[in-house]
Amino acid sequence: MQLDVVSDTVCPWCYIGKRRLDQALAMQGGNGITLAWRPFQLDASIPEGGVDAGAAHGVDLG
């Protein structure tokens, strides 16, 4: 079985979820389960080259 995991790599709640998933797979044995990691994109309008984090937070937070 393939389990698709959608996660944000810098989100602390996603980290907690990953740790719990790791624990559940360890308890189950992980037999026959493959993980497919998918990114969760918070802001699709950010250009491929990225933006200055300080400027981006200023726009978001005012």
Mean pLDDT by 10 residues, the chain (62 residues): 90 92 90 90 80 72 51
Cα separation, 9 vs 29, in Å, equals 25
Give 14's Cβ-side CA count (13 Å radius): 13
Amino acid letter, 32: G
Contact between 39 and 32 under an 8 Å Cβ cutoff? The reply is: no
5 occurs within a structural domain = yes
2 occurs within a structural domain = yes
2 φ, ψ (degrees, to nearest 5): -100, 130
13 occurs within a structural domain = yes
Q: Global pTM? A: 0.63
29 occurs within a structural domain = yes
Contact between 37 and 5 under an 8 Å Cβ cutoff? The reply is: yes
16 occurs within a structural domain = yes
30 occurs within a structural domain = yes
36 occurs within a structural domain = yes
Please tell me the total count of domains within the chain. 1
12 occurs within a structural domain = yes
| Domain, as residue range, for 30 | 1-42
